[in-house]
Amino acid sequence: MTAVKTTETAAPAGEIPPALPPAVTGGARKRRRRGGAFDRALPYLLLAPALIAILWLIGFPVVSVFVTSFRQLNLGELVRGEIVWTGFDNYVTVLKDERFWTVSLRTIVFTVAVVGASVGAGLLIALLMRVLTPWVRVALQIAMLCAWAMPILASTTVYQWMFDQNYGILNKTLVQLGFDSYANYSWFSSGTSTLSVVGLLIVWQAIPFLAFSLYAGLVGIPRDLYEAAGIDGASGWQTFRAVTWPEIRSLLMMVTFLSTLWDFKVFAQIWVFKEGGPSGESTTLAVLQYLEGIAKSHFGVAAAISVLMMLILGLITFQYLRRLLQTEEGKI
Amino acid sequence: MLKKSAANVAGLVLALFFLFPTYWMITSALKPKGSTITSDYDLVPFSVTFSNFVTAWTKPGFLSALGNSLVVTLTAVLAAIIVGITAAVAMSRFAFRGRKSFVLLMLVAQMAPFEALLIPMFLMMRDLQLYEHLTSLVLVYFAVTLPFCAWTLRGFVNGIPVELEEAAMVDGCGRWGAFQKVTLPLLGPGLVATSVFAFITAWNEFLFAKVLIRSQDRETLPVWLSGFQTAFGTDWGGAMAASVLFTVPALVFFLIVQRKMVAGVTAGAVKG
């Protein structure tokens, strides 16, 4: 009996996507064992592989990105194995470059737009799912699952085909509907237009996770709260404000935070569509870092861009991150 | 009543919106050669062929890319799950000095913006002589998925009553026996869900795969597909067939979790 119950309570966490801390974090079961040296060493032995891996493969690169950002490191220095310290030169180079500011601003605007659109639409769809007839809800869930499961590169390729200038189904449909100016219309002739298509692609693929998570949150709200609101004669909007909103606010903030982390550093979709073009107009910070570091082999300058990238992301998410760490620390 | 049918109509329209790219990918892949690139309005395919799949399957590089992707992804996820389980058990079942900091380290590590570590990772793999080796990708994907696996599995282990293990130990099981016979089987669904999400993450990864591997015979599928225009030209039918083949493994894994997910949701609803 207990066994069955355990799997059941464990199962909802299955929908938790990468990086979402499980909603069901039961208090850890602490147990002091009296025993030999082996027993006392056992937890450390169990942790050792993970700790070593994290220090080596995450900790070291984090330190290294800061160190590299203070070095002059181009292909020449790399091949010769020279270590040339330049102090803040790389940062001066980056910050003096007007392009960096344009790209940073563009990245922030893009992130805010994409996160806002996907979280907003995800919430609306989650609310909608509650009132749907069961078979319509299942149809919508299956459709969203298809979007969610498609690998990023596959969906990017499909979108390229749908938005194709000459034979894309979108332009053909628009012409059928009477918008003749869309015959052979290029959706990738400007940065704004390119980023809009990329944004649509990202939002389309991000909504399913958001809608599923928020729907799970909505389903978990006790029914009697709504009954009480109904008895009190609350309108639909009042019920939302007084019952639904307080119950899902923390979940909503969590998924907004995660979406920000994910959407800020998007690279694949932007790169595959236009490699940051036309003429650099759809370049974001992740693309800039790649162009500077890998394409031009200016590793020092690129490391400075990486550090600034983390700084900007840190500034955007700082408030929430602090609160998250505090609550999690309390739970452990 | 009217409100409900309006909602249902909206729901169906949204379903079409989410389904259409998948539909378009599959039907484009099934169209015979000359009828993909056409100015005719062809929302519904009239004749069906599998020749595009043959084209994609036999394209130079496809099979090796598929193999590379499978090897890299599965190795990394397997390693992350094994190391993650041991860490999860330590975090959840033992009291020891430094436990709290370690748990917080896991939480922070899974939020690390990996893309911003591109340059040091590249330099490190070069120093280790792993540049151009699939091992470098295995290491990166292992590192990306490990904190998430450890954190999520910790949640699942927390959900299993420690009393069950204690009972097994009273009955004469060793600590390992109790873990193997009691905890591990109960951890099954959690393991499946965790490894699927780790799999999807690694299966999708593009930036590091592009930067750390340059030679064509070691490419993974995302990188191979991103250069499809060199392989397919304007053969969109072939490109769509390749996309379908790329999607199938991910979709299969997703459906596995979906069942668990629905079961979880309904279980919660019954408990009410």
Pick the residue from chain B with its C-alpha nearest to A145.
B254
pLDDT per position as a tens digit, B70-80:
999 999 999 99
**B39–A contact, CB cutoff 8 A:** yes
Domain boundaries, chain A: 97-331
Q: Which of B16, B18, B70, B207 to mutate to test the interface with A (most CBs of A within 10 A)?
A: B18
CA distance A332 to A166: 57
Tell me the per-residue pLDDT of A213-245, one tens digit each, with 9 for 90 and over. 899 889 888 888 888 888 888 888 888 888 899
Cross-chain residue pair B189–A11, CB shorter than 8 Å: yes
Its CATH class, for the domain covering A97-331, is mainly alpha
Q: In angstroms, what separates the C-alpha of B223 from chain A's closest C-alpha?
A: 8
Whether ipTM tops 0.85, in short, is yes
Please tell me which of the candidates B25, B207, B221 has its beta carbon nearest to residue A158: B25
Q: Provide mean pLDDT across the span B117-126.
A: 94
Q: Which residues of B touch A26 (CB under 8 A)?
A: 155, 158-159
Is pLDDT above 60 for A3?
no
Listing DSSP states for A204-220 in one string gives HHHHHHHHHHHHHHHHT
Amino acid at A175: V
Residue B8 pLDDT greater than 60, yes or no? yes
pLDDT of A13 reads: 36
Would you list the domain boundaries of chain B?
A: 25-33+45-264
B3 to chain A: closest CA residue: A131
Is there a contact between A148 and B121 if contact means CB atoms under 8 Å apart? no
Mean pLDDT of chain A: 86
Best of A31, A137, A150 to disrupt the B interface (most B CBs within 10 Å) is: A150
CB spacing of B123 vs A220 below 8 angstroms: no
Interface residue B107 vs chain A (CB under 8 A): yes
| pLDDT more than 70, % of chain A | 89
One of 3.40.1190.20, 3.40.50.150, 1.10.3720.10, 3.40.800.10 is the CATH number of B25-33+45-264, namely 1.10.3720.10
A67-119 pLDDT per residue, tens: 999 998 988 888 888 888 988 999 999 999 999 999 999 999 999 999 999 99
Residues of A in contact with B257 (CB under 8 A): 14-15
CA-to-CA distance for B261 and A8, rounded, in angstroms? 10
